[in-house]
Structure 1
Amino acid sequence: MTSGTGAPRRPDAAGPDPAQFRVHVVTQAIRLFSEFGYESTTVEQIAAAAGVSRRTFFRQFRSKEDVIFADHESLLEQVAGYLSGDFADPWLAACDAAELVFGHFRDRRELAVWRYRVVQRVPALRERELVTTYRYERLFTDFLRAAVPSAKPVHIVSFAAAMTATHNYLLRAMIRGDDTATSEQLHRALYEVRRTFGVVPQAAAGAHPGADLPQRAVTVVTFPVGASPAEVAEQVRRELEQNPPTS
């Protein structure tokens, strides 16, 4: 498509779909970061690669760091929107939301790999990633507190930490190229988290334990009485790393 002068029309002049525009800029930015390094890549280079002006870039993103995690911002909104519905089984709904996040990055694995490599090289980005992970965990915690007011707060916080740690372990394994880190494996692992915390409905657990799961993997985690939710989550992560569930 061209402008009246015959020159190619720039995306910022055409008024592109905001969501598609952000995806396009994010993809170009992370590609450049992966190829040339985060610190060496300038905003001007990103704008040029995306075919937009510097001003347009800053209308959408505050900094290069924001570009790295832009799709997480969109995902957090999507997860919050999903969890705003009514659910017969809130514990399962929280796990389903985690699977939505996994599916997003599975379908965009190449971009996820680029970002993983960039983040691992830059300490400030690793810190931002930890904050982003906590935001997902807090979203699950707040949802469950509202949806299951009778549950003990420590039970909810521990569950949210365990399911987030399980998701993140398999997500990173998938990004690193582990063929066993699939959506099905995550589904099985999250089922076991629910079963361990005793939140699988009795009818489902009694009549057809894990009926929707072709295979079952059991992970046993022990921790001291009085351990904090963060310590529980860390122990789950360590156990999964040392004894990953088999498919």
Structure 2
Amino acid sequence: MSVEPQQTGRRRVGRTTEGRRLLRRTLTVAAIDLFLESGYEQTTVDDIAAAAGVGRRTFFRYFRSKEDAIFPSHDEVLRDIERLFAEADDRQNPVEVACAGVTLVLDSYLSDPDVSVKRYTLTHTVAPLRDKEVASVDRYQRVLARYLRTRFETDGQPLADLRASVAAAAVAAAHNHVLRRWLRSGGTEDAHAMARKAFQLVVDAFSTEPPRRETGDDETVVAVLRSSASLAEVVQQISASLRPGGGSAQ
């Protein structure tokens, strides 16, 4: 029995790293389009494989089920995050490192906006796909918490386990907020700009250092006064100090 030319081409492509990535995307696009056109329940693995021009066995080399077919390679992204954590300098702020790790998840969605936006539509209407997405988010959060717990314990921070769990949840929530906002915009908003602001809020909230102030009009005034100074004297001295070139306190 002869093999169709299209399938022969697919098999040849699948022999290289880039070819496997391309074939994986082809299967994902086929699954998403069929789910949207024919319905999730009505679409079978055989339907997806046929639309992608490959056989059933080839499909299962890339995905365990039809649910898996529409999601990015979470296992691959998790390995990248764990590698980033393993190579991070211990002098770096651990929450900043955690934010850098979850940015890899964000980038995996941003790399293919069309597929990501279509996936978002599906996960909001098909319960099994929504459950699958929630489970994947939980996997990332556990990896974040494990890394943060180790760092907090090494740094001797109190309540390291609790602090790590709460910080990991905050990092994941910041990421999810940015990702959903970007998806709702149809992939048009600047997700990285939003992420920088969201992650900075988390970093500041869990920082052991006082938050950095922008250079501007806000200044700290230290006034030294006699313990017997009246309220009027206190107000006068502080007011004088706040004026440009204000005098010294008594």
What TM-score bracket applies, with the shorter chain setting the length?
A: 0.7 to 0.9
**Using CA pairs below 8 Å that are at least 6 residues apart, which structure has the higher relative contact order?**
1
Distance 2:13 2:114 in 1: 28
Say which is worse superposed, 148-157 or 165-174, in terms of deviation.
Answer: 148-157
**AA at the equivalent of 2:15:** P
- Residue 184 of structure 2 aligns to which amino acid in structure 1? R
Aligned match of 1:176 in 140, 165, 184?
184
Please report the RMSD computed on the Cα atoms of aligned residues, expressed in angstroms. 2.5
TM-score, normalised by the number of residues in structure 2 = 0.72
Distance change (3 Å), C-alpha of 1:135 and 1:210: farther
Aligned with 2:5 (options 7, 14, 26): 7
**Cα-to-partner distance string for 1:17-65 (whole Å, 9 max, x where unaligned):** 3333322222222222223221122212211121111111123222101
In 2, Cα distance between equivalents of 1:99 and 1:140: 12
Q: Is the CA contact (8 Å cut-off) linking 1:44 and 1:54 kept in structure 2?
A: yes
Gaps of 5+ in 2: 216-250
User: Could you tell me how far apart the structure 1 residues matched to 2:124 and 2:162 are?
Assistant: 32
Q: Per-residue CA shift, 1:134-166, capped at 9, x if unaligned?
A: 111111011112233223211111111011011
Partner of 2:73, secondary structure, is helix
Name the counterpart of 1:111. 115
User: For residues 127 and 3 of structure 2, what CA distance do their matches in structure 1 show?
Assistant: 46
Q: Partner of 1:64 in structure 2? A: 66
Q: Higher mean Cα deviation, 65-74 or 132-141?
A: 65-74
Listed as ranges, the matches of 1:42-57 within 5 Å are: 42-57=44-59
Question: Any residues of structure 2 matched to 1:1-247 within 5 Å, and which?
Answer: 7-8=5-6, 9-12=8-11, 15-17=14-16, 18-87=20-89, 88-89=91-92, 90-149=94-153, 150-151=156-157, 152-177=160-185, 179-180=188-189, 182-199=191-208, 205-206=211-212, 209=213
Q: 1:79-135 deviations in whole A, cap 9, x for unaligned?
A: 222222132222211111122221221221111111111111221221221111111
Change (3 A) 1:101 1:65: same
- Percent identity over the alignment? 32
Q: After the TM superposition, which parts of structure 1 deviate over 4 Å for at least 4 consecutive aligned residues?
A: 178-181
Q: TM-score, normalised by structure 1?
A: 0.73
Count of aligned residue pairs for this structure pair: 203
